[in-house]
Structure 1
Amino acid sequence: MALRDDDEPRRKVVHDIGQPLDALSVGDLEERIELLRAEIARLEAALAARQASRAAAFDVFKLPG
């Protein structure tokens, strides 16, 4: 019995910053763009959380005027 495409395990997409892009197909490039957009969103969420925590800490320790 032959394997169908959806029976095959999906390879994990990894992108190394600065790697050559010549050998990648249009689909590969689109997949990596989506991967990087998701990672940027994750980083931005972590940054916003850190900034909120920092602001809250400054408010707690702020000396009266």
Structure 2
Amino acid sequence: MSINDEDRAARKVAHEIGCDLSLLSVDELALRVELLKAEIARLEEEKARKGASRSAAEKLFR
């Protein structure tokens, strides 16, 4: 196995915003949709967590 093969095997499926979608299969598009949904959920959870921390800090300093 060459170094390039190892690099390819280690790469995760990713999506670049605005990339050309025309060469992707329906299955690849579905995978990307699920990937983005999971990322949105992760972002929403972090936003909620930070919002709760901010709210607690504001109450403390009032």
Normalized against structure 1, the TM-score is what? 0.78
The aligned residue for residue 3 of structure 2 is: none
Give the CA RMSD over aligned residues: 1.4
Q: What amino acid is aligned across from residue 35 of structure 1 in structure 2?
A: L
List structure 1 segments (4+ residues) > 4 angstroms apart after TM superposition: none
**Are positions 1:45 and 2:18 aligned together?**
no
- Identity rate, percent: 54
The aligned residue for residue 58 of structure 1 is: 58
Between the two proteins, the alignment pairs up a number of residues equal to 54
The aligned residue for residue 6 of structure 2 is: none
The aligned residue for residue 32 of structure 1 is: 32
Cα deviation code 1:13-51 (max 9, x no counterpart): 110000000000000000000000000000000000000
In the alignment, the residues of structure 2 paired with residue 56 and residue 38 of structure 1 have an alpha-carbon distance, to the nearest angstrom, of 27
Gaps of 5+ in 1: 1-8
Gaps of 5+ in 2: 1-8
Shift of 1:12: 2.1
Higher alpha-carbon Rg:
1
**Larger helix fraction of residues:** 2
